[in-house]
Structure 1
């Protein structure tokens, strides 16, 4: 076997924090306007904020690649300490309306502390993050408001959940429509055309070969387009694994009632034209069989590496109960 190429060098003016689930990787850009890209899970908001402050002082701006719980969990705390929040316009508009579907938090049963968006971002917009200019690149698919960030001088590309060294982002055909996988594929093609020197993903390590990572992601995304049922199963497995991570597992007595109460499972069953109870059973059985989840002491746990979350950290209200901007 030929040796693996080295990880591309990062410029000295940024700090990269690779984090296990349930947190997204975090990019810190110190300088005249210290900025943070994504803020991890709400259960680790204090840790995220302390780390950012230790490396860059007070954060002026947070940019979210998208609004899922593992990317926006520190927003509320950082905003309370003076940071502005920037996000793609579709998500910024929904947050401003206090749409009950914000962050898909209730739909996915993933808690998110209430925050507001101060800076809506549009495609092509240039942001000063730290001491460098970055371009906003709209990359819908994983969510409709998903975005990437492009630094042309160093050819750095922050890709959010669009791809990683081993994966592509799951797509929600129930909420975002049957074309969501094709939309994600088109976004990946747009990012590949930038020919980045460094890809900075939200999960896993920095790919050693950006071109190979992009090519693999395009193949994976094409499979999701070609096999809608497979895309639905893929999303269901990812959502259940995350639920187990943030709850330190779910007991075998509780897992099926838990799944039967989930809107995402009901939607998946409808799209697959199966009974929700049968889908729940098959999902658990299949993930146990593949080793994606494991049984220990009467509880099902996600097998992937993850950081524990204190139970009390999950006790934040769903967006339908968030205070309005006038009440904050």
Structure 2
């Protein structure tokens, strides 16, 4: 589809970014705000882009807590921005749950951050000079949210959908109804009849209705074929691992996969051993062209931006510095 970025109002600055980053949405005004913050390996690039387009950012709003959406949080927070996220994500981050951001589970690094403003469904946020409504859209993650600006009919959808895809679902962690939940979220978003969709990956769809129709067909397939949904998630997670590591040496690929919790869970759901699934995953992705063997390393073929190896050396959440205890008030906005 043709990118509809030219239809954005003047107070929205958009940056489309390839993996492993999410797109950036900068909302100008008296309360400058940023939606999502990219991958930790490109946090300095995110901050430089923000500085080039705004004097400051008052608030970063995360659509969800995966590494490609929260990786710039720590740096932007150190520069004075508050962080807003869904209440489930905010509470887990405040407790420093080991499962925060699925960072260790997915082996995707995230620098430690705190959430200043938990968000709930239906809440109205002042972002830039506009009011945006929080729309809880679980499925891709339980805490996933979207943002709706009714005057301009703009809808920031995170990973709920793009013009080419829908977010993968984690049936192992989130239960067998996760795909059904994701489909219901798509229907809720479509009922808003947005003028423009602002996805976290890929271009702005030229035709929101067509994008929703395509996304719903794909989401329905995940509902109808749980085995296919597990495979879909495994392929996406492994491709991301290859992107952020400049590939993995062929001799290290299967040992790497055998050690991953997500692969063990996928193997259980698919009634395979982790070793058998790892071998089959590599084989099927090589045959499909999703990965390629080059210079002794398996590499992802999708467009992506290189990541410096040293930027991945951040602690997993189980060792993050302590913050507010569970149940403490973390609702004050920065």
Quickly name the TM-score band, shorter chain normalised. Answer: over 0.9
Helix, strand or coil at the partner of 2:184 = helix
Q: Distance in 2 between matches of 1:167 and 1:59?
A: 30
- Given that 1:29 and 1:35 are in contact with CA atoms closer than 8 Å, whether structure 2 keeps it comes out as yes
1:299 alignment partner in structure 2: 297
Q: How does 1:313-328 map to 2 (within 5 A)?
A: 313-325=311-323
1:285 alignment partner in structure 2: 283
Instruction: List alignment gaps of at least 5 residues for structure 1.
Output: none
1:67 alignment partner in structure 2: 65
- Given that 1:31 and 1:56 are in contact with CA atoms closer than 8 Å, whether structure 2 keeps it comes out as no
1:164 alignment partner in structure 2: 162
- Asked if residue 13 in structure 1 is aligned to residue 15 in structure 2, the reply is no
RMSD after superposition: 1.1
- Given that 1:139 and 1:146 are in contact with CA atoms closer than 8 Å, whether structure 2 keeps it comes out as yes
Q: Where in structure 1 do 4 or more consecutive aligned residues deviate above 3 Å?
A: none
Q: How does 1:223-234 map to 2 (within 5 A)?
A: 223-234=221-232
Q: Distance in 2 between matches of 1:53 and 1:32?
A: 15
2:331 alignment partner in structure 1: none
Helix, strand or coil at the partner of 2:160 = coil
Q: How does 1:24-103 map to 2 (within 5 A)?
A: 24-103=22-101
2:251 alignment partner in structure 1: 253
Pick closer, same or farther for the CA change 1:315–1:6 going to 2, 3 Å. Answer: closer
Helix, strand or coil at the partner of 1:40 = coil
Once the 2 structures are TM-superposed, how far is the Cα of residue 325 of structure 1 from its aligned partner? 1.4
Q: Over residues 270-297 of structure 1, what are the superposed CA-to-partner deviations in whole Å (9 max), with x where a residue is unaligned?
A: 0111111010000000000000001101
Q: Distance in 1 between matches of 2:4 and 2:56?
A: 30
Instruction: List alignment gaps of at least 5 residues for structure 2.
Output: 326-334
Once the 2 structures are TM-superposed, how far is the Cα of residue 7 of structure 1 from its aligned partner? 2.3
Helix, strand or coil at the partner of 1:49 = helix
Q: Over residues 62-97 of structure 1, what are the superposed CA-to-partner deviations in whole Å (9 max), with x where a residue is unaligned?
A: 000000000000000000111000000110010011
Helix, strand or coil at the partner of 1:114 = coil
Higher relative contact order (CA closer than 8 Å, sequence separation 6+):
2
Q: Distance in 2 between matches of 1:60 and 1:199?
A: 23
Q: Distance in 1 between matches of 2:4 and 2:262?
A: 37
Pick closer, same or farther for the CA change 1:326–1:200 going to 2, 3 Å. Answer: closer
Q: Over residues 3-51 of structure 1, what are the superposed CA-to-partner deviations in whole Å (9 max), with x where a residue is unaligned?
A: x777261101110000000000000012111100000000000110111
Once the 2 structures are TM-superposed, how far is the Cα of residue 326 of structure 1 from its aligned partner? 6.0
- Given that 1:69 and 1:110 are in contact with CA atoms closer than 8 Å, whether structure 2 keeps it comes out as yes
Once the 2 structures are TM-superposed, how far is the Cα of residue 182 of structure 1 from its aligned partner? 0.4
Q: Distance in 2 between matches of 1:224 and 1:297?
A: 35
